[in-house]
Structure 1
Amino acid sequence: MTAPATRRDPPVSPVFLAIVAVMAVSGWAVWTEAAGSTGFAVFLFVVSGWVVSLCLHEYAHARAALHSGDLSIGAKGYLTLNPLRYTHPLLSIGLPLLFVVLGGIGLPGGAVFIERHRIRGRWRHSLVSAAGPLTNALCALVLTAPFWLGWLDGAPPVFRAALAFLALLQVTAAIINALPVPGLDGYGVIEPWLSSGVRGQAAPFAPFGLLVAFGLLWIPEVNHAFFDAVDAILRALGVTEFETRYGLDSFRFWQEQKEDFDWSPTWQQPTR
């Protein structure tokens, strides 16, 4: 008898591998300062790293959905990590990149299409939604590991700063996306446990959840409280506020350095 064919995952997309290659090369350029002016290299490193994390975020949703009963995931191409296969590439990649450039914060993107009717059980539905922000939290741990393990002692300050800023984006994305706001994954976690009436009332607001979260961060009191929490988490992971601010400043290479920028270091002051 012939053994039944086993289902295998599709190969990783060349598009994703190209993005990873850009991250690796730009990271090397930042480390060695081979680009002369490292600002553009920092920009490429952060942007490519952020896109990689967005792909992993959506992959986690798709993988959780596949193992929860939605077998249609494989045919949609989500398991290839190709960002061009998402239902809304502009929302999944373009909009989060715009938020990074404009606001220096990491906001989650938009979407893999999951056929929820194929998934049975409230816990499974919650797990599918939680997989995304948990992936961002895991990325934050990986990116900050060199800091709290002491692997970056003696590393170029600009590389430390670029890595710190990329970690900040992961922390902000994990926190914001975990909020119980319709349209965000945090709401998706609790939605299966709500009554049908509450779900029906919240549904019209889902398309605007991401914009509402971004809008709230423009309120000074909310912004300060939010970034105080982000800074506290990063400090616990060995990353200083100075490093993340230096990373943001290097990322925005097209802006002139402000004279009144507070460069008060909690670690070695970089030479500029």
Structure 2
Amino acid sequence: MGELTLVQQITVWALPVLFAITLHEAAHAYAAKHFGDATAYMMGRMTLNPLKHIDPIGTVLLPLLSITLGGFIFGWAKPVPVNFSALRNPRVSSRWVAAAGPLANLGMAVMWALFFRLAISMDNSYSEPLRLMSRAGISINIVLMVLNLLPILPLDGGRILESLLPPGLAYKYSQLEPYGMWILIALIATGMLSSILRPFYALVYALLGPLLH
């Protein structure tokens, strides 16, 4: 198959992006409910229905722009509401609630890697579409995983780091949260985000290597 048109690229990426973002947020909701906070459950966010998680900018516009302009494809969904004070053992539980999203992306990356292996073993009209979609699924899930593990609040990595710090230092670190998204925007605008993500992306992709051959 030659170079894909924009419509073909959108077709290839749409399902993997939607699954990656939806399951990431749903995993947070399920983990929060498991550890004692039913906020997301009561708000209807503990679901695999993508319509409950879609953010017009992060789930639709930004991935479309990323596909059009090239480079890393990434985005976000509506954050799942979590009342950390309602969790059993909040410091430890919040760590697992935060980690649930990236772990879901890792699981999906493995799943897409298995689909990729299936695609290259087949010899029919579905082989190439499945191969392209699987590569997209691997890519978006690795990017979302490493992006969300950056130690910047309110990203998951920031939540995990906050839970690991001594209480006094954790409180001081939490005061940086209002500036977190501005830091992330600055990293995107300067092109530094891609440089930061690239080695971690390559590492995870290499770890998946045995499943891809």
TM-score (norm 1): 0.61
Change (3 A) 1:183 1:97: same
Q: Are the counterparts in 2 of residues 107 and 172 from structure 1 also a CA contact under 8 Å?
A: no
Q: Are the counterparts in 2 of residues 92 and 111 from structure 1 also a CA contact under 8 Å?
A: no
- What is the alpha-carbon distance in structure 2 between the residues aligned to residue 151 and residue 157 of structure 1? 7
- What is the alpha-carbon distance in structure 2 between the residues aligned to residue 217 and residue 48 of structure 1? 24
Which stretch has the larger CA shift, 160-169 or 136-145? Answer: 160-169
Change (3 A) 1:212 1:106: same
Q: Are the counterparts in 2 of residues 95 and 109 from structure 1 also a CA contact under 8 Å?
A: no
Is residue 163 of structure 1 aligned with residue 134 of structure 2?
yes
Report the 3-state secondary structure (helix = DSSP H, G, I; strand = E; otherwise coil) of the residue aligned with 1:113.
coil
- What is the alpha-carbon distance in structure 2 between the residues aligned to residue 207 and residue 226 of structure 1? 22
Which stretch has the larger CA shift, 211-220 or 164-173? Answer: 211-220
Deviations 1:29-88 (A, max 9, x none): x9xxxxxx86524412312321122111111000000011112332210123334445x8
- What is the alpha-carbon distance in structure 2 between the residues aligned to residue 195 and residue 232 of structure 1? 30
Q: CA RMSD in A?
A: 3.5
Q: Are the counterparts in 1 of residues 12 and 136 from structure 2 also a CA contact under 8 Å?
A: no
* Structure 2 match to 1:89: 55
* Structure 1 match to 2:72: 104
Change (3 A) 1:95 1:193: farther
Deviations 1:80-99 (A, max 9, x none): 3334445x834653465356
Match 2:194 to one of 214, 220, 223: 223
Q: Are the counterparts in 2 of residues 177 and 185 from structure 1 also a CA contact under 8 Å?
A: yes
Largest Rg, 1 or 2? 1
Which stretch has the larger CA shift, 137-146 or 221-230? Answer: 221-230
Is residue 192 of structure 1 aligned with residue 192 of structure 2?
no
Shift of 1:176: 1.2
Shift of 1:119: 0.5
Change (3 A) 1:202 1:224: closer
* Structure 1 match to 2:85: 117
Shift of 1:194: 2.8
Report the 3-state secondary structure (helix = DSSP H, G, I; strand = E; otherwise coil) of the residue aligned with 1:78.
coil
For structure 2, the 5+ residue unaligned runs are none
* Structure 2 match to 1:183: 154
Match 1:209 to one of 157, 180, 184: 180
Deviations 1:213-257 (A, max 9, x none): 454356567634632442343244249xxxxxxxxxxxxxxxxxx
* Structure 1 match to 2:109: 140
- What is the alpha-carbon distance in structure 1 between the residues aligned to residue 59 and residue 18 of structure 2? 7
Q: Are the counterparts in 2 of residues 145 and 237 from structure 1 also a CA contact under 8 Å?
A: no
Query: Which AA in structure 2 matches 1:177?
Result: N
**Greater helix share, 1 or 2?**
2
Query: What percentage of aligned pairs have identical amino acids?
Result: 25
Aligned residue pairs, count: 205
Deviations 1:129-162 (A, max 9, x none): 1000111111111001133x45423464454233
For structure 1, the 5+ residue unaligned runs are 1-29, 31-36, 240-266, 268-272
Change (3 A) 1:217 1:52: same
